[in-house]
Amino acid sequence: MHLFNVQKTLHAGKLTEKILKLFMATGNENILSLIQSLNIQHILLPVLPTKNMSVEIKDNEVDIVITALQPDLTSFMEDWRPIISQFHIIIVKEPGLEEDLQIPQGFDHQIYTGSDIQRIAGHTSITFSGHSCCYIGYLVSQKKYVISIDSDCLPARDKNGCVVDAVAQHIANLQTPATPFFFNTLYDPYRTGADFVRGYPFSLRTGVQCVLSCGLWLNLADYDAPTQAVKPNERNHRYVDAVLTVPARAMMPVSGINIAFDREIMGPTFFPGFRLPEEGKQRWESMEDIWCGLCAKVVGDHLGHGVKSGLPYVWRSASANRGDAFGSLKRGWEGVKLMEEVVPFFQSVRLPRTAVTAEECVFEIAKMVSERLGQSNAVFSKAAAAMIEWVKLWKTVNSQQA
């Protein structure tokens, strides 16, 4: 009798939450199995803003990776001491540097030199020079999280004149969820004093894991060579007090100057694959971090993770602009031209469902790069080859460390 009533109620379209509860309360086995077989579920109650998806990150789970492009790191490390001294630091020495590195006392650190790089990756075709030395640091790290800041950057000050702890901010960004599926107009809803706004679907308020945190730069912004050449005196004074999730499927230029990421999940997406023919040591003469960032965004989107951008700021000093922007135009221009193809390519990448790890995703992307871009420029076919080699290298090095 009861079972018939359930069915009748269902067909009449009158099975509400209340009535469902009444039927289930009868305890009648037939009813319960019918409900189960039809997969009738309770309506989810709206989830109030909570910090459910937050993770806790301990200091010993973090590596700070610094690339030494010049031997004297004393003032850099002293300036950052209050912020980084409690972390393990990996310093990668640019292979071209002859002199010994000068590093002040009191830092728990490990140095990797050209011969280490040779030992670890010499058998591959991947080269590490200039800023791209950082990738060796990412590779050998045994921590879950990596934070990397260029050695010509200093701690910034916020609008109140307080020193910005960029490391703590990156950690906070990685700890709290990202919200890539719907834009929150008050930016990061997990920050104190903010929340999800009216109209934000409740089912999306738990967010997803944040795997990449992209910081910004005061003073010298990360501009390309043409922009630097046209605006040599422009300085970024605008402190935008926001962290926001870059929405799913939106592509962005990730700068390697000031980033942090979940190495365990995303490590394989960061590698020096995209090398310009006459790449120099200035940031504006390279695009490999931009390439990695596009990979990382595609991979993150596919795996259902989030990417944040905004705070923290670092102060990028004038030494980052050593060199002649006009002179670099020739080298920088190549990268600028190639971006015209690179960005639409990444916007169109669709990864197969079977790719469930970053390694698998990178492998798939490498195949697509080879197929779709390989013909147009040797840079692309080399990048594809480097990606595949990197994935293999990553697996090898990480299994050795395990």
Partner 1 sequence: MSAAHGRQGEVPVVPVSPPLKDELDIVIPTIRNLDFLEMWRPFFQPYHLIIVQDGDPSKTIRVPEGFDYELYNRNDINRILGPKASCISFKDSACRCFGYMVSKKKYIYTIDDDCFVAKDPSGKDINALAQHIQSLLSPSTPHFFNTLYDPYREGADFVRGYPFSMREGVPTAVSHGLWLNIPDYDAPTQLVKPLERNTRYVDAVLTIPKGTLFPMCGMNLAFNRDLIGAAMYFGLMGDGQPIGRYDDMWAGWCCKVICDHLGLGVKTGLPYIFHSKASNPFVNLRKEYKGIYWQEDIIPFFQSVALPKDCTTVQRCYLELSKLVKEKLGPIDPYFLKLAEAMVTWIEAWDELNTPKSSPESAAVSKAPNGTPAKK
- The footprint of partner 1 (CB under 8 A) covers 43, 46, 48-49, 159, 182-187, 191, 193-204, 214, 216, 221-224, 226-227, 230-231, 234-242, 246-255, 283-284, 287, 290, 293, 309, 336, 339-340, 342-343, 347
Which residue number, 117 or 290, has a Cβ lying nearer to partner 1? Answer: 290
Q: Are 137 and 112 in contact (CB under 8 A)?
A: yes
Instruction: Quote the CA–CA distance of 293 and 335 in Å, as a whole number.
Output: 15
Which residue number, 132 or 184, has a Cβ lying nearer to partner 1? Answer: 184
Smallest separation (angstroms) from partner 1 to the CB of 153: 15
Which residue number, 26 or 185, has a Cβ lying nearer to partner 1? Answer: 185
Residues 6+ apart with CB under 8 A from 385: 125, 366, 370
Instruction: Quote the CA–CA distance of 259 and 310 in Å, as a whole number.
Output: 10
**DSSP β-ladder status, 210-219 and 306-316:** parallel
Which residue number, 205 or 263, has a Cβ lying nearer to partner 1? Answer: 205
Alpha helix (H) ranges present in 231-377?
Answer: 263-266, 288-303, 325-348, 358-368
Which residue number, 28 or 236, has a Cβ lying nearer to partner 1? Answer: 236
Q: Encode burial over 147-173: b for 16+ CB neighbours within 10 A, e otherwise.
A: bbbbbbbbbbeeeeeeebbbbebbbbb
Which residue number, 332 or 374, has a Cβ lying nearer to partner 1? Answer: 332
Which residue number, 226 or 280, has a Cβ lying nearer to partner 1? Answer: 226
Smallest separation (angstroms) from partner 1 to the CB of 315: 15
Smallest separation (angstroms) from partner 1 to the CB of 25: 23
Smallest separation (angstroms) from partner 1 to the CB of 220: 11
Find the helix packing angle between 114-121 and 378-401, rounded to 10°: 90
φ, ψ of residue 78 to 5 degrees: the values are: -65, -40
Residues 6+ apart with CB under 8 A from 246: 180, 214, 252, 297, 306, 307, 308, 309
| 354, containing H or E segment | none
Which residue number, 77 or 338, has a Cβ lying nearer to partner 1? Answer: 338
| Exposed / middle / buried, residue 131 (Cβ in 10 Å: 0-12, 13-18, 19+) | buried
| Exposed / middle / buried, residue 333 (Cβ in 10 Å: 0-12, 13-18, 19+) | middle
Q: What angle do CA 332, 77, 131 make, to 5 degrees?
A: 20
